[in-house]
Amino acid sequence: MALDSYVSLGRSGLKVSPFCLGAMNFGEDGGMGCSVEESEKILQTYLDRGGNFIDTANFYTNGHSEAILGDFFAARPGLRDRLVLATKFFGNLHLGDPNGGGAGRKAITGQVEESLRRLRTDSIDLYWLHNYDWSTPVEETLRTLDDLVTAGKIRYVGFSDTPAWFTSKAHTMALLRGWTPITALQMEYSLLERTIEGELIPLAQDAGMGVLPWSPLKSGYLSGKYTRDQTTPADAKRAAVLGAPSQAQFKVIDALAAVADEIGSTSAAVALSWVRNRPGVSSTLIGPRTLEHLESNLAGLDVELTARQTATLDEVSAPTLNFPHDLNRQVGAMLKYSGATVDGEKSHVYPPLLQSTDRY
């Protein structure tokens, strides 16, 4: 697969690359990003390979990430309109201002104008709510976003890192009131973080939302640079923030490395291929800080895992999901089908029915 093998974002009309270029590391504000020069090299290489989907947020590197993208597009007339540009609102860049961030009307309208100015564009293709705002009525958020769509300042709405119950409520409300619905969900998802499989991915599949996983390498834990003998990567500053993988996580890391060795690839490429091919996933977010990181990530487009290799990774990384997921899958089938074989899978029989012969 190549970056120009475009896919639909959920059931929307938006077509995007299978890997989305995340610009969280563009800019050195905060001390862990990359320079403007390196950011532009990463951008240009991604575009040269056929990529068309770029994602950032208003507060990434204190706004510098958006400014780098805006300057890059301004220097290349016509390029911006050929891309799908996404950014997020919620982060407050104004110390002490209670209305500077969040999802209220005043906050959103202020944030979108600031993002448009930094991005040097008239519209944002996909505008993400970056977090759940418990203090703002969802009606206020949705109506404000719909007004921005009507005004032509944004085109699609997405939710990032929001609970399933809230996301479902918001999407249903938008549909019932004729407001712009939620097109996509951006959530953490990797071999080391699979709990969204309990409710968020089923919700997205049912509602037609595209899923855009972030941190598919679990902050570098799945990149191949961590082994049982080497638990601290070369970047000591990031390691100090993130810590080292746990023993339970190393079980997954070891299995991943074994599959990578088997097919002559890297742990990073295999981990990205696994995420890219999960049910419900439209595009996968990669966030390189160097050109080398980008090239390593793009190798994930060339990896095709066998059913056996996928099953191995599925098993070793199997998550514990919230109640009532297991009850619904196990007891639900037993009570519903009572020993019948459905869709090729035989159900168990509820024990009291083993001797039942319609006695009542």
* CB 265, CB 304: distance < 8 Å: no
Number of domains observed in the structure of the chain: 2
**Same domain, yes or no: 210 and 347:** no
358 in the same domain as 286: no
pLDDT digits (tens, 9 = 90+) for 266-299: 999 999 999 999 999 999 999 999 999 999 999 9
305 and 341 in a single domain? The answer is: no
| Catalytic residue of the set 60, 127, 189, 221 | 60
Q: For residue 126, give the CATH number of its domain.
A: 3.20.20.100
Mark whether 158 and 290 lie in a shared domain.
Answer: yes
pLDDT tens digits, 307-332: 999 999 999 999 998 888 887 877 76
CB atoms under 10 Å from CB of 332, counted, come to: 13
Query: Could you tell me the residue range of the domain that residue 348 belongs to?
Result: 323-360
In a domain, 138, yes or no: yes
Using CA of residue 323, residue 216, residue 171, residue 130, what is the dihedral sign? positive
Catalytic residue check, 221: no
User: 3, 6, 9: which is closest to 212 by C-alpha?
Assistant: 9
295 and 353 together in one domain: no
Nearest CA among 120, 184, 133, 197 for reference residue 155: 184
Q: Is 2 part of a structural domain of the chain? A: no
Same domain? For 358 and 226 the reply is no
Residue 248 and residue 360 in one domain: no
pLDDT digit string, tens, across residues 169-219: 999 999 999 999 999 999 999 999 999 999 999 999 999 999 999 999 999
Q: Are residues 76 and 159 in the same domain?
A: yes
Q: Is residue 1 part of a domain?
A: no
Average pLDDT over residues 155-169: 98
